[in-house]
């Protein structure tokens, strides 16, 4: 009974944050009344009404822990989500993963065309930095947020992880090599999501960064397990793609059962990192559980 | 004689700034000793040893006029050039202009592959914002620079102009429609190059923004004329491409002779905007001449 109440409370919290993020994104993305209309429409198609918004949820949870103001958190969360959305649009293109389905809808290059998908990704990335730079308040703090998001997204972060992923296709990676790749490909932006939430009010505590590293990795391990075991309908994106494309995954490196156990261990470590925060870390603990125990 | 001395002096100034920008870019672009090596090598291939560096020259000329410090100008100029380089890499891709030659070398997707070209462009964009955010000094000023560069590059600036260009292919545009496109596609980033130079020390004077608008447009008009009249060897990129691809150009809209006259009129207006600055605007005047009178 207690557990059901907690779950319902978490679900309500998630729903309210997801709604707030959607509103912020809707307000910040230029509408089709601004030229070029088709590009702006495609940017909205790529970003709105989609996904679990895991990164924004982390930004809000970390920000709530740190005592940040919700309006400021909305912009930070939107900036992280725009970077995530841009990376999905580009990753789905024919020269990368060549995927036709994302969040249950045709991918941007299928719904529009490849050139538009390229420009959509480019412009979503730009908008992320623009939002952080246009936000009022303490300039040093906003600049630190730009720095954090850029270093997580660039060639030594997310884009670099993507490049390593491409190079590794068809090769068997060791667990260490896999971790090196995923710390960049997925972990860096998840870490930035947590850090930006804290930065909305002050410096990011080291324990939060540790938490972020654990769940960043856990997120990817679970992604690999789900790709191998879940269905396309459940995921809203093409399932079983990793093994067909010869991608290096945790399932391939250690087997599905050990991969699940590894994710569970990371969840435990993430909880441990939060110990000093007590009740203030409730949402972050729930998010660690959500990330590891999710079925989609 | 006086004119030859002036020309030699301008050439020497250009050479010294181009050298300084090359050094800054070399220092700021991660080397292949950092993973992923191939991505970092391709980022350097796309950016180093290439181009006239028109935008960095404008940043330095505007900064010198405003009394900015050279080290600070180097980072601002490098940031603008990284955005320009990213846009060239993506524009050359098969789904956009599908070009094989740039700055006299094979384009990035030809020398490497399409996926790498996509990631190179993405990561160069990120690095531009990272450089501005990592630069020390007054945070409010650095944040204003991020804002200026982002709004010039995004869907209502450069990327938007590119989208309009794609939509317009095969259509005849009026001069007003052409201007609407080029103010975004080329003008916005050239304007940002000038503005960032001034911002290195204080607010950008309105007259400088006016100057930037004129030469931004002049740059594109001359580009159209050169594409129609110059050779591939001279340009270091494929000539005659606009008419083969059915692109809307000033040559198509008004004829080569009227287009040349229009560029000349814009040069006159650019000079007029600088009148109040006297000798301090020498380099900006020379750059306006260089942009309009160039043969490549």
Q: Is the pLDDT of residue B230 over 80?
A: no
Q: Comparing B275 with B235, which gets the higher pLDDT?
A: B275
Whether chain A has a CB inside 8 Å of the CB on B110: the answer is no
Whether chain B has a CB inside 8 Å of the CB on A80: the answer is no
- Strand pairing class (A105-106; B101-102): unpaired
Check CB contact under 8 Å for B160 and A39: yes
A contacts of B162 (beta carbons < 8 Å): 119
Q: What letter does residue A31 receive in the DSSP assignment?
A: P
Alpha-carbon distance of B113 to B11, in angstroms, equals 36
- State percent of chain B over pLDDT 90: 81
- Tell me, what's the pLDDT at B2? 53
Q: Is the pLDDT of residue B99 over 70?
A: yes
- Tell me, what's the pLDDT at B239? 72
Q: Residue A105 in 3-state DSSP?
A: strand
- Tell me, what's the pLDDT at B1? 45
How far does the CA of residue B130 sit from the closest CA of chain A (Å)? 5
Number of domains within chain B: 1
Tokens of A113: 């065309």
E strand segments, chain A:
101-102, 105-106
Q: Is the pLDDT of residue B149 over 60?
A: yes
- Tell me, what's the pLDDT at B136? 87
CB B65 within 8 A of CB B202: no
Mean pLDDT score across all residues of chain B: 93
Instruction: Supply the range of the domain harboring residue B259.
Output: 2-293
Rounded to 5 degrees, what are φ and ψ at B68? Answer: -85, 160
Most confident of A50-54, A118-122, B176-180, B234-238: A118-122
- Tell me, what's the pLDDT at B58? 98
Q: In the structure, what pLDDT confidence band is assigned to residue B242 with cuts at 50, 70 and 90?
A: confident
CB A221 within 8 A of CB A259: yes
Q: What is the mean pLDDT of each run of 10 residues along chain A (296 residues)?
A: 78 97 98 96 96 96 95 96 98 96 94 98 98 94 97 98 92 89 94 97 94 95 89 72 82 92 97 96 97 88
Rounded to 5 degrees, what are φ and ψ at B69? Answer: -80, 135
Specify the CATH number for the domain of residue B230.
Answer: 1.10.600.10
DSSP-assigned letters across all residues of B72-113? HHHHHHHHHHHHHHHHHHHHTSTTTT--SEETTEE-HHHHS-
- Tell me, what's the pLDDT at B237? 73
A contacts of B182 (beta carbons < 8 Å): none
């Amino acid at each position: 009974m207690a557990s059901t109440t907690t779950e319902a409370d978490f679900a309500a919290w998630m729903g309210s944050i997801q709604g707030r993020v959607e509103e912020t994104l809707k307000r910040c993305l230029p509408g089709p009344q601004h030229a070029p209309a088709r590009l702006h429409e495609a940017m909205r198609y790529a970003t709105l009404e989609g996904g679990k918004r895991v990164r924004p949820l982390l930004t809000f949870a970390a920000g709530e822990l740190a005592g940040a103001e919700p309006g400021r958190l909305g912009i930070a969360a939107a900036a992280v989500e725009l970077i995530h959305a841009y990376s999905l649009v580009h990753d789905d293109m024919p020269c990368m993963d060549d995927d036709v389905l994302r969040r249950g809808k045709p991918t941007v290059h299928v719904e529009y065309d490849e050139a538009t998908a390229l420009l959509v990704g480019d412009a979503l990335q730009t908008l992320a930095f623009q939002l952080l730079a246009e936000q009022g308040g303490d300039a040093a703090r906003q600049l630190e947020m730009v720095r954090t998001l850029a270093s997580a997204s660039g060639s030594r972060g997310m884009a670099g992880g993507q490049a390593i992923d491409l190079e590794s296709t068809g090769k068997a990676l060791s667990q260490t090599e896999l971790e090196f790749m995923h710390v960049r490909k997925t972990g860096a932006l998840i870490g930035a999501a947590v850090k930006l939430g804290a930065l909305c009010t002050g410096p990011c505590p080291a324990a939060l960064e540790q938490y972020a590293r654990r769940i960043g990795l856990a997120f990817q391990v679970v992604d690999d397990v789900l790709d191998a075991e879940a269905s396309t309908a459940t995921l809203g994106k093409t399932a079983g793609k990793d093994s067909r494309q010869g991608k290096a995954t945790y399932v391939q490196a250690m087997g599905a059962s050990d991969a699940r156990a590894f994710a569970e261990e990371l969840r435990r470590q993430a909880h441990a990192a939060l110990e000093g925060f007590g009740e203030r870390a409730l949402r972050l603990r729930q998010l660690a559980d959500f990330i590891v125990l999710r079925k989609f």
